[in-house]
A = this chain, B = another copy of it.
Amino acid sequence: MTEPRWLDEKQARAWRGYRRMRALLDLQITRDLAADSGLSDADYDVLSNLSEASPHRLRLTELATTMLWSKSRLSHHLTRMQQRGLVDREECAGDARGSLIVLTEAGLRAIEDAAPHHVDSVRRHMIDLLTDEEIAALDALTHRVVSHLTATS
């Protein structure tokens, strides 16, 4: 490290703002989700990904990579969700190692009940507070950062 290039005033403000929003928004949305639906963020993400899949089932590895989770974490979490009846595991035809994660009836009901509340929460605490220009800027900026991060690693 030669001469560290510190952030200037504006950059520092933006960075700290981002960090703080991130933390507060997380807390609030987690709270709302738990109060409205009894689900955790993690539960919601798993259910939502499964519900968007073709016949409501996905390979564990596939689910893990799209969620940016480790297989281990997902496996642990799925056993807990399985005990609550939200998902199930099926054997995978064609690959005897694999297991298919299936959305159960109860899981489908859970995500369908939760989604409207969740969208409302996201709107109230973030989206509806932004102008169209800010939405566009956020879209552009986040996607640029995302492609940088997925290219590098």
- Cβ-defined contact, A148 with B119, below 8 A: no
Q: Is A134 located at the chain interface by the 8 A CB criterion?
A: yes
Residues of B with C-beta under 8 A to A23: 68
Main secondary structure of the interface of A (DSSP, over half): helix
**5 A-B contact pairs sorted by A residue (CB < 8 Å):** A1-B120, A10-B135, A15-B122, A129-B145, A134-B140
Residues of B with C-beta under 8 A to A34: none
Residues of B with C-beta under 8 A to A24: 68, 145-146, 149-150
User: Which bucket holds chain A's interface residue count?
Assistant: 35 or more
- Cβ-defined contact, B153 with A6, below 8 A: no
- Cβ-defined contact, B149 with A5, below 8 A: no
Q: Is A116 located at the chain interface by the 8 A CB criterion?
A: yes
- Cβ-defined contact, B123 with A17, below 8 A: no
